[in-house]
Structure 1
Amino acid sequence: MDKKQIISKLNDAISNNKGDDGRNHYLIKRINENGLLCESDKKYLEKILALDTIEIKNEFIAEKDQSIFLNPNLTKCSLCHMDIQFDEKSTRYKKDWYHVDCLKTISDVRENKLQDEESEEENITTSIPQKIKKDPIQILLTASIFIFLSISVYFLLGPLSMMAMGLGGAITIFHVIGSTKKLYSTNVSGRNAPSIFLLFLLGSPFIIATMIAYEGYTLLESPIRIILLWAMTISFWSTMLFVPMAVLSKHREDGQTYTKTYPKISIIIPAYNEEKVISHTIEALLETKYPKKEIIFVDDGSNDNTLSIAMRYNEKIKVLHKENGGKASALNYGLVYATGEIVVIVDADTIIGRHSLREIVKGFEVNEHVAAVAGNIKVRNRLNWITKCQALEYITGIQIVRRAFDVFGSITIVPGALGAFKKSFLSELGTYGKETIVEDFDQTIKLLKAGLITQGSSKATAYTEAPNTLRDFVAQRKRWYRGNIQVLKRHSDALFNPRFGYLQRLSLPYLFLGMVITPIVGFTSVINAIVGTILGDGWYVLQVSLIFLVVHYLMTALAIRIDDEDPKLLWYAGFLVFGFKQIIDFLLLKAILEQLRKKKATWTSAKRIGMNKN
């Protein structure tokens, strides 16, 4: 007997009111869909249609009860556990079979519960407090940093230098107290003037240099030590501020609640000549777990196979094409087609984590003024010295420095590799600008200047392809650093306007420190260390160098621990003090000189190697 004959017999049974009407209709639907029937279905057909077993073709019968829609034991009621007779009315509910009368006694309660679950999943934010587990190793590393710094200052430095270090400690305590009272930056009115912290930051090197110079000539009898102590003072300040803020940020993140609110998101992928990596990026986004998402791919006039590769997915994503105009124009083009409440930007060479979209959206629930959330960017092609140093640089930069800014709601760069924005705020600010070559940095500063909040999420991970040769690395950093200086220059007014909150009080001053002061101090320190060693002060140079090295290793170990990263990367921490750091300082100084000479900044990109997702 074929499929049509069985369906005809079942229709006759329905017309003659024979058997269970609901089950008859169900079997007709399953057979029409070529679905496998369970053994109990076979017995039911034999009984109700008066057929012999041999007459039912095996193609309709599963060897085992494989149906995902049915409970294999269909002959018993799931409530009363009595056999359901073939002539009794039965019905299915949540994969189980019931007597109709049995189900009626609980239907109201079960249906209400089902509706509550569905409503909770789609519309209601359910906060489930998460227990914070204290990490003893993290506590030990944090304590070790401060104990080591205190001992070093006490035994190595003179009283005036200790006073300079104490000023850094006082600043840290001030900011820690401030962060507990008011978490986010807010607009305040007042007379235009630089922040007290900026004045202290800009003026203190000269004051401290004078103090250390006096101490150096009268007590230490070596002018070479002056610069080394100045560098140590600045490093001491940074450590005293960033480490406690990073620990505080980690503590707050661990205390976040689980949520079930999923606003619709639009994911925009701008791409130009990314044929080696684009398929991995799209597939990772398709696999990412999020209930309401749309993926918008924007080809910015590629002249390779990028567009044709993306077209393979055109049934699942929106594929757009435009003439080449740069990344900012591609993002603006994609925003026109975005319909989500949240817009997520993903670079074409980035593979995001399976749960990253859920995690990054969670950041918007902290406060209604949160405009953007930065993802946790990791290097996936850790193949050689240059890529492993970059991987470690990303980890320490995000887990120590960025976390400090996160505490104050003023992260300055929501990266293009993975960053989420509330679309309504983007619309109010206007389109991505072409005035700089680092559109992500520029757009983030615009949000902060509008009095909005930017947060970070270390659980929203994204894996990017870092330059794997020194030549490509230099090309990438040349664009980054020139672009960063462009942004600082463009938004320099924020340094002197108190209404910009923590952007003016903390974030921009420290960016200025990192981009301008630090490379100058770094190169000057190296030169002085070499000269000091030649002049016979090698033991003191060695002591200072070891202090820098030990503190950096402890901070790196803390960052790796916070991020649950590969401990083997700690072997490369020394290069971020000697070797890799000098390359960074040189490129920063080069960018400053090019900006002063008004040399045109151009877009540069690294060569892709197209690693597999795994």
Structure 2
Amino acid sequence: MPAERPHDHAAEWAVRAPAQLAVLLFVLLAGVALFPLALVLAPLGFAAVLAGLLFGAVRWPRLFDTLFGVGLPLRGWVVASAFVASALVGTLVFVERYTVEAAAFALVVAVCLPWVVVLVIDGRLRAAATRPMRLSVWPVVVFTLLVVTGGLVFGWRTPEPFDFAIFGGFIVVACLVLVVFPMTIAQAHSRRESDEDTLADTPFVSVLTPAYNESSYIGDCIQSVLASDYPTDRLEVIVVDDGSTDDTYTEAASHRNERVSVFTRANGGKHAALNFGLSCARGEVIVGVDADSTLHPTALQRAVARLQSDSRIGAVAGTVVIDNPQGIVGGVQALEYVLGINTLRRAFSYLGTVMVVPGCLGVFRREALEGVGGYDADTVTEDFDLTVRLIKAGWRVELTESIVYTEAPFSLGDLLNQRLRWTRGNIQTLLKHRDVFTSPQYGFLHRFAFPLSALSLLFVPFASLLVTVTLVSAIFGGSLFDVILAAGYFLLVLAVVSAMALDLSNHDFRLLAYVPFHIFGYRQFLDFVILRTMASLLQGTGMRWESVTRARQQESSTSTTSQPQAVVDD
């Protein structure tokens, strides 16, 4: 019997999701029994305004492009002065030495200090200080809304650290309730009447599978592609062995036939293997599938149909499912994919700005892929970088219900290696495309996707560390009961959020058992990964690819037979 079609399940969820969202909102409002009314309602107000702006931009794009496409003409020294002024005034407030006279003196120093520095130091710094630039109105508006929200909650006084931590938690949850989930519902609802399951035509598809030391996996990957319900005469598979030192090439070559080509080349990295495969491909649709992943039988047809349904779509991302959610390490990752990756991608998909087309399953128009120059070598997350370049080039990038199964790291050490690479690549990509932050022409990439990514990488770890220290201090300060109440409340909220995400993804609700680890333990682990990555980047540590041990390869001996280095094909 064929597996349940994931598209049908998402459509059914879109019907019952409003009732689930109402329950989540009720649980959130129940926080007034524990916290001041303003502390609960003000973040909801902030999130409601933000949601209104984002949904309004979808409904009336030209109007909002006019309103928020304006850049404030500024010089570099003005931006530097504003930063210094904020830092000085914030310091005065923090040390409780804030007075009108002290604030005025801080503002004078903030205006003069950048000029003194650029007069003393010549060269690039002076050029940066005098260079004209345009600051987007959008971040100014959002930041002002956030400051006003905090001012209303705390009466424009310096909050206690514990209260500020609770405020941050309510901001995050309010944005989930009123921004992320409504967009997710809208995205799922829009698929209900779509023709995503029906191909108007059958373009020729080339599936590219780069492989490095993927023995015991590459064979299953090839077989899953060949078992697809996509027309066999319109499909080819191109496997590129990137200088493996195990039996990857031999295993892949055993599947070679009229539809499967197998190449081997000297190791040059995943991006080079993919670009080589692209040069050999004949298809007008290019599909990337990681060698350790397997496709649902309907995945290819669904993804290609979605790509063909709208000429504005340049790429679609598959829905990634962890197929080994055993143990704590596997379970927390399975829940993370459901809640923190696939659910967010649905929200981004509604805006046409899915941030990452994953290597597990990514489907591209050849025109779009070649138009941005293929895969680049200057980051270790080539999929993130490529996706950003596609969106900057004007293409929509969306999520499809095409399911791809992948194996998650099964040990804490391997998980650390994987996340170090992901985090390093994410930071590299944000830095590479930093012009997005100040360029309104990039639409929702500028207004929503990039700021959220930057906050999760640059702000959340430090905020989480502050919250952890604050809670520990509160416990030792005699507020153990208050900390337990607050932690229990937010644990309940996260459990309801997770239940909604699990229902959407048709996942096992037993994963709810891992919700506590996402507050205590796993969250701190991810923060450590980000902080360690930042430290290594500041130290100038070169790029390297952290290896991850595969479960099936753990006990197998590594083949020492050298593989041919010249490109060959049958």
- Which of 208, 211, 214 is equivalent to 1:271? 211
**Structure having greater relative contact order (Cα 8 Å, sep ≥ 6):** 2
**Per-residue CA distance 1:403-460 (angstroms, 9 max, x = gap):** 1111110011000011011011111111311100000000000001111110001x20
Residue 439, structure 1, aligned to residue 382, structure 2:
yes
1:303 partner amino acid: T
Amino acid at match of 2:163: R
CA contact (8 A) 1:414 1:440 kept: yes
> 1:375 corresponds to which residue?
318
Aligned to 1:317: 260
The answer to whether residue 33 in structure 2 is matched with residue 157 in structure 1 is no
Query: What TM-score does the superposition give when structure 2 sets the normalisation length?
Result: 0.78
- 1:190 CA drift (Å): 5.1
Counterparts of 1:403-442 in structure 2, within 5 Å, are 403-442=346-385
Paired residues for 1:374-523 under 5 Å: 374-457=317-400, 459-523=401-465
Gap regions ≥5 residues in structure 1: 1-128
Counterpart in 1 of 2:25? Answer: 146
- Who is 2:4 aligned against? none
How big is each residue's C-alpha offset from its partner over 1:220-273, in whole Å with a ceiling of 9 and x where there is no partner?
8x5432233233323423442111111111111222224232211100000011
Change (3 A) 1:318 1:562: same
Counterparts of residues 168-187 of structure 1 (less than 5 Å): 168-182=47-61
Equivalent runs, 1:313-352 vs 2, <5 Å: 313-315=255-257, 316-352=259-295
Q: Distance in 2 between matches of 1:368 and 1:515?
A: 33
Counterpart residue number, 2:140: 199
- The code of the aligned residue for 2:212 comes to Y
Q: Which residue of 1 aligns with 2:486?
A: 544
Q: Is residue 357 from structure 1 mapped to residue 295 from structure 2 by the alignment? A: no
Distance 1:135 1:228 in 2: 31
For 2:548, the equivalent position in structure 1 comes to: 606
Count of aligned positions = 478
Q: Tell me how far apart the structure 2 counterparts of residues 336 and 552 of structure 1 sit (CA, whole Å).
A: 46
- For the structure 1 residues 497 and 597, does the alpha-carbon distance in structure 2 shift closer, same or farther, using more than 3 Å as the test? same
Residues 1:305 and 2:243 aligned together: no
Q: Which whole-Å CA distance do the structure 2 matches of 1:287 and 1:554 have between them?
A: 37
The equivalent of 2:470 in structure 1 is 528
Alpha-carbon distance, 1:586 to partner: 1.4
Q: Is the 8 A contact 1:408 1:502 kept in 2?
A: yes
Q: Provide the secondary structure at the position in 2 that maps to 1:254.
A: coil
**Cα distance in 1 for residues equivalent to 2:419 and 2:293:** 18
Aligned equivalents of 1:481 and 1:201: distance in 2? Answer: 26
Structure 2 stretches lacking a partner, 5+ long: 1-7, 72-132, 554-570
The one-letter amino acid of 1:266's match is S
Provide closer, same or farther for how the CA distance between residues 200 and 585 of structure 1 changes in structure 2, counting only shifts above 3 A.
Answer: farther
CA distance in 2, matches of 1:153, 1:293: 58
Identity of aligned pairs, percent? 29
Instruction: State the alpha-carbon separation in 1 of the partners of residues 336 and 453 from structure 2.
Output: 16
Give RMSD over aligned pairs. 2.7
Does the C-alpha gap of structure 1 residues 236 and 277 become closer, same or farther in structure 2, counting only changes over 3 Å?
A: same
When Rg is computed on C-alpha atoms for both structures, the one with the higher figure is 1
Rounded Cα–Cα distance in structure 1 between residues aligned with 2:420 and 2:427: 11
CA distance in structure 1 between the aligned counterparts of 2:462 and 2:487, rounded to whole angstroms:
17
1:244 aligns with 2:182: yes
Distance of 2:539 and 2:252 partners within structure 1: 42
Larger displacement relative to structure 2 (598-607 or 527-536): 598-607
Structure 1 residue 399 displacement after superposition: 3.8
Query: Which residue identity lines up with residue 245 of structure 1 in the other structure?
Result: M
Alignment partner, residue 221 of structure 2: 281
State how far apart, in whole Å, the 1-side matches of 2:44 and 2:17 are. 24
State how far apart, in whole Å, the 2-side matches of 1:577 and 1:542 are.
13
Partner Cα distance (1:193, 1:200) in 2 = 15
User: Which amino acid in structure 2 is aligned with residue 259 of structure 1?
Assistant: T
Contact 1:216 1:225 in 2 (8 A): no
Residue 138 of structure 1 contacts residue 561 of structure 1 at CA under 8 Å; is this kept in 2? no
Residue identity in the other structure for 1:150: L
**Quick one: structure 1 residues 227 and 345, their matched pair in 2 at CA, closer, same or farther if it must change by over 3 Å?**
same
Question: In structure 2, what is the Cα distance between the partners aligned to 1:200 and 1:529?
Answer: 31
Residue identity opposite 2:282 in structure 1: T
Counterpart contact for 2:42–2:152, Cα < 8 Å:
no
**Offset, 1:214:** 5.1
Structure 2 CA distance, aligned partners of 1:186 and 1:448?
A: 16
